[in-house]
Amino acid sequence: MENQAEIVKAMSHKNFYPCPTSMVKIIQTHISYIFVGDEDVYKVKKPVNFGFLDFTTKEKRRFYCEQEVILNRRLAPKFYEDVVAITRESSGAFTINGAGEVMEYAVHMKKIPTNMMLKNLLAQGKAGIAVLDKVAQRLAEFHRNAATNEKINKMGKLETIRFNHEENFAQTQPFIELTISPLAHRCIQNYVSTFLEKNEELLLSRVAQGKIRDCHGDLHIEHIICEDEEISIFDCIEFNDRFRHSDVAADVAFLAMDLDYNGFEDLSRSFVSSYIKHSADDAVLLLLNFYRCYYAFVRGKVISFRLNEKSLAATERVATAKLAGRYFDLALRYATALKKPTLIIICGLMGTGKSQMARTLTSMLGIDSVVMDVLRKELLNIPPHEKHYEAFSSGIYSAEMTKQVYDVAFAMAQKSLAAGKSIIIDASFKKQEMRLAVQRLAMELGADFLAIRCVCPDSIVEERLKRRALRSTGASDGRWEIYAEQKQNTDAFSHFSEDEFFTVDTSGNRQDSIFTALAEMAKRLL
């Protein structure tokens, strides 16, 4: 927009402003130009339309400037001054609230004391549990008094929540392979679908309990100012009621997500606990992961939009894609998070892809794993890549040695579960007694249990094992010559219930196999 380019140029000069300033710093976001002086800040909205946001006319920009001031005075009254007109005088010069034609509007604010910003306090180690408790108390009080009505309640209905997510998935399609992987996109979609299907009653109860409010909607740690006993929270969403009218748990989840993203996971948990204490809203925990996933995905999406800017320099384009990718990775972590300590066994015959499945799930779920092939050689002080081609069930693979390895693996699993951590055991689990023993271990420790069996046709197994024999890497000594004996000596999987066992065919695309496993896990563990 030609006029706005001229306005931005004019507002870049320190002499443009009514109050003296020694400098003007310009910050550009995907939706605004922000002009920061010594004491005052002016924000001009860009004439953009992202579907969920429409600033394409001067009248709309004025309306949303006014909304920004009104809404942000709820939590940061001392920082929001008013809306000013940018006018063009007869001389052609631009000025603030002049007598000439109104060309644009801007939000006028007092400068935020960045040294008191929560993000900076956290980085300097000056904000801990006590500060987060004050933030939680301020937020809980705000939520208690925030507006709610029938219109707002509609935003907590299942159809609106589903629409918000479907919009996200549609708008991120162009960025698949750029900032988000196809697998992550599919997995997060599946997680959302499964969660909504299983939790419709919970979501309806939140509406009935009056938990859908006119919230903040954009609770970054850089939007919170902590001055002694006063907590101010600024820059709420003004451009779309649908993103601000939400379950109060969504606001809590946004800040928890941002704390997680910035490496303050312990303080994130502390903040959530404090909010529940101040609000007496225990159900927040049931919704926390769902909304953290939603907001991490939204952040990835919004940052990805910057890649559409033709003026973006190549180096900045790479940095932007990387930043968006980090948020999408976090969303995937939430989408695959286990609700409680879980013992997962990934089993199957040699060459069926169980170790590759275990490695991928270990990485995606962010949990520990025990790899039986590696553990066996560690116990015998054998280098992991050193090959020992023994006859079936003999030498280092004798029944006696195998039992010792399983005993150690179970002890390691017990230690992890007792510490509240999930773990994967990657082993063949040929014998029913071992499967039942590991299931019993999980049950005794109050952990969830899941068995994933990998299968594929013999012809593919033969091809894989022959390729493996040519490689010098890898701890497995499995080979085609003993495959038939292992198959014959493997007990049938007939004793697990459908809730704790499923089979994955790994003969096709690897990402399809991983997606199938994660989708089946979501059905059972959500």
Per-residue pLDDT, averaged over 222-227, amounts to 96
- DSSP per residue over 304-317, as a string? HHGGG-TT--HHHH
Q: For 349-366, how does the pLDDT look when each residue is reduced to its tens digit (9 = 90+)? A: 999 999 999 999 999 999
Per-residue pLDDT, averaged over 220-231, amounts to 93
Distances (CA, A) of 231 to 62, 77, 271, 488: 28, 11, 14, 68
Q: For 138-152, how does the pLDDT look when each residue is reduced to its tens digit (9 = 90+)? A: 999 999 999 999 999
Helix locations, 209-264, DSSP H:
241-244, 248-261
Listed as own residue / partner, the contacts of 48-53 with beta carbons closer than 8 Å and 24 or more positions apart are: 50/171, 50/305, 51/167, 51/171, 52/167, 52/239, 52/240, 52/242, 52/243, 53/239, 53/240
Q: What is the CATH number of domain 2-111?
A: 3.30.200
Give the range among 44-48, 73-77, 93-97, 480-484 with minimum mean pLDDT. Answer: 480-484
Q: Is residue 51 pLDDT above 90, yes or no?
A: no
The reported pLDDT for the residue numbered 395 is 81
Q: For 488-519, how does the pLDDT look when each residue is reduced to its tens digit (9 = 90+)? A: 999 998 889 999 999 999 998 889 999 999 99
Per-residue exposure over 1-32, b if at least 16 CB sit within 10 Å of its own CB, e if not? eeebeebbebbeeeebbeeebeebeeeeeebb
Establish how many alpha carbons lie within 13 A of residue 506's alpha carbon, considering only the half-sphere containing its beta carbon. Answer: 26
pLDDT-based confidence at residue 1 (cuts at 50, 70, 90): low
Q: Is residue 228 pLDDT above 60, yes or no?
A: yes
The reported pLDDT for the residue numbered 269 is 97
Residues whose CB falls within 8 Å of the CB of residue 427, separated by 6 or more in sequence, listed in order: 345, 346, 347, 370, 372, 406, 409
Give the rounded distance of the alpha carbon of 102 from its chain centre. Answer: 42
The reported pLDDT for the residue numbered 30 is 79
Q: Is residue 469 pLDDT above 90, yes or no?
A: no
Report the C-alpha gap between 401 and 403 in whole angstroms: 5
Report the C-alpha gap between 400 and 110 in whole angstroms: 75
Sheet strands side by side (includes 423-426) = 368-371, 423-426, 342-347, 448-455, 501-505
Q: For 86-145, how does the pLDDT look when each residue is reduced to its tens digit (9 = 90+)? A: 999 999 999 999 999 999 999 999 999 999 999 999 999 999 999 999 999 999 999 999
Report the C-alpha gap between 418 and 412 in whole angstroms: 10
Q: What's the DSSP call for residue 397?
A: G
For 275, the token pair is 């909010």
Domain chopping of the chain, boundaries: 2-111, 116-335, 342-511
- Name the helix (H) or strand (E) containing 344: strand 342-347
Give the range among 21-25, 105-109, 124-128, 466-470 with minimum mean pLDDT. Answer: 466-470
Indicate if 116-335 has the same CATH topology as 2-111: no
Report the C-alpha gap between 492 and 429 in whole angstroms: 11
Query: Which single residue is written with the structure tokens 């230690």?
Result: 415
Q: Is residue 475 pLDDT above 80, yes or no?
A: no
The reported pLDDT for the residue numbered 472 is 66
Phi, psi of 180 (to 5 degrees): -140, 140
Quick one: CATH architecture of 116-335? Alpha-Beta Complex (3.90)
Report the C-alpha gap between 67 and 238 in whole angstroms: 6
pLDDT-based confidence at residue 2 (cuts at 50, 70, 90): low
Percent of the chain with pLDDT over 70: 99
| pTM for this prediction | 0.87
pLDDT-based confidence at residue 72 (cuts at 50, 70, 90): very high
The reported pLDDT for the residue numbered 391 is 78
For 344, the token pair is 């997962």
Top-level class of domain 342-511: alpha beta
Q: For 431-464, how does the pLDDT look when each residue is reduced to its tens digit (9 = 90+)? A: 999 999 999 999 999 999 999 999 999 999 999 9
The reported pLDDT for the residue numbered 394 is 83
Q: Is residue 6 pLDDT above 90, yes or no?
A: yes
Per-residue pLDDT, averaged over 167-195, amounts to 96
What average pLDDT does the chain have? Answer: 94
